[in-house]
Amino acid sequence: MHISGNTIFIPGASSGIGLALALRLQAKGNTVIIGGRREELLARIAAENPGIDTAAIDTTDPASIRDASAAVLARHPGLNVLVPMAGIMRVEDWHAPAGFLDSAEDVIATNVLGPIRLIAEFIEHLRTRPDATILTVSSGLAFTPLRATPSYNASKAAIHMLTESLRLQLADTSVRVQELAPPAVRTELLPGHQESPHAMPLDEFADEVVALLESQPEAREVLVERVKFLRYGEARGDYDQVVAALNAADPHGE
């Protein structure tokens, strides 16, 4: 995607990575609409950041996605970038179904079905735009698993392969398909994550992502330096060592 001149919808951007990127993209000359479930929080963000638009949306609810997409496109018919950002991460114990089944269903509904439903709502509109982008959000854990979060790892691996597949299918359209794969970042994704010494500071991450989008607008994958350790372990031939290092370092991998 080009770094400026876009109209961008980012569902799941009321906090964390999504909000940090939304504010930086607005500063680069884009019209930005953030989506989230907490309407009071959305109102506060809009009041504190003039020019940011908001849309109430629950990405686990197909009806909410339909309503939000209709409202966003009515207000912003020039929308040309979709960033399905919403996601949840859960620590699970797969020794017995009581430790993981409900959690796994929630994770897959949010992290996989949510983006699929969002793309379904916007794809026909995006195909009418002369320069459109779908920027998916996977994770370094799509490539190197964290022992404590099996469903999250699997959901992000699914997003990676979905992105690869969509890029092939949409090659005959005006829609570019790119993938952002973050490392661990200091957000509220898991309890204690904001203070984790093993996670990348949020502002540092968001600044590097925007710099990469600006310098490499055609890149298939947007990879900060810190995530390459996880992303390329198998290609480098040190995958087993990367898995061991990740799970030794992360407190949730104990």
User: What CATH architecture does domain 7-253 belong to?
Assistant: 3-Layer(aba) Sandwich (3.40)
- Residue 222 pairs in a beta bridge with 180
pLDDT at 197: 87
Residue type at 187? T
83 Cα distance to chain centroid: 7
Could you identify the residue written with the tokens 């019209």?
31
pLDDT category, 252, cuts 50, 70, 90?
low
Nearest to 81 by CA among 22, 28, 43, 126: 126
Q: Which pairing describes strands 175-180 and 221-222: parallel, antiparallel, or unpaired?
A: parallel
Which DSSP state fits 185? B
Tokens of 60: 């686990």
Which positions are catalytic? 152
Q: What is the pLDDT of residues 2-48, one digit of tens each?
A: 999 999 999 999 999 999 999 999 999 999 999 999 999 999 999 99
Where in the chain are the domains? Answer: 7-253
Helix (H) or strand (E) holding 24: helix 16-27
pTM > 0.85: yes or no: yes
Q: What is the mean pLDDT of residues 88-92?
A: 95
Q: What is the pLDDT of residues 45-67, one digit of tens each?
A: 999 999 999 999 999 999 999 99
The total of other beta-carbon atoms located within 10 Å of residue 117's CB is 20
pLDDT at 251: 53
Which DSSP state fits 231? H
Q: Does the structure show a pLDDT above 90 at 249?
A: no
Q: What percent of the chain is predicted at pLDDT more than 90?
A: 92
